């Protein structure tokens, strides 16, 4: 991979990272910063209905799960950026073969070729 392509991937990864970090911060504020009263604009201390509390907890769980997924994506991006700096970006971490540019275009932080990714997923699932 030439320097121009690497620079392009680095720019894309930095853009994605910035976007995801913003998303994580926003989700964190929503999931952890508000209680049911704040979220609903409720000024009363009287509990609502149990179903409302269940819905609030469910929504908070979804936000926390999204936050975890996006945090993991940021870690993967950081790893890809480190691989650019080490000169090993675009090389599969398992088999050492080149990762096709089409895969990197779709998933710029991919560290595995498609074949190794499939093997890993089949072993995990």
Alpha-carbon gap, residue 31 to 34, rounded angstroms: 7
Question: pLDDT tens across 52-76, in order?
Answer: 777 777 888 888 888 899 899 999 9
pLDDT-derived band at 1, boundaries 50, 70, 90: confident
- Cβ(115)–Cβ(123) under 8 Å? no
Alpha-carbon gap, residue 109 to 78, rounded angstroms: 8
Alpha-carbon gap, residue 108 to 12, rounded angstroms: 8
Regarding whether 64 and 74 lie in a shared domain, the answer is yes
Give the residue-averaged pLDDT of 28-45.
Answer: 58
Regarding whether 50 and 10 lie in a shared domain, the answer is yes
- The pLDDT, as a whole number, for residue 37 is 53
Q: Please state the domain count of the chain.
A: 2
Regarding whether 15 and 32 lie in a shared domain, the answer is yes
pLDDT-derived band at 107, boundaries 50, 70, 90: very high
Statement: residue 27 has pLDDT above 90: no
Alpha-carbon gap, residue 90 to 48, rounded angstroms: 53
- pTM value? 0.75
Statement: residue 43 has pLDDT above 60: no
Regarding whether 107 and 59 lie in a shared domain, the answer is no
Domain range spanning residue 101?
90-125
Regarding whether 15 and 47 lie in a shared domain, the answer is yes
Give the residue-averaged pLDDT of 43-49.
Answer: 58
- The pLDDT, as a whole number, for residue 91 is 97
């Amino acid at each position: 991979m030439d320097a121009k392509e690497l620079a392009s991937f680095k720019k894309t990864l930095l853009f994605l990272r910035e976007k995801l970090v913003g998303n994580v911060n926003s989700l964190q504020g929503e999931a952890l910063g508000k209680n049911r009263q704040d979220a609903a604009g409720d000024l009363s201390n009287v509990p609502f209905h149990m179903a409302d509390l269940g819905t609030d907890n469910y929504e908070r769980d979804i936000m926390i799960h999204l936050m975890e997924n996006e945090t993991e994506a940021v870690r993967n991006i950081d790893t890809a950026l480190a691989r650019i700096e080490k000169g090993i970006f675009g090389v599969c971490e398992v088999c050492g073969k080149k990762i096709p540019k089409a895969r990197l275009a779709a998933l710029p932080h991919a560290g595995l070729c498609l074949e190794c990714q499939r093997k890993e997923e089949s072993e995990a699932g």
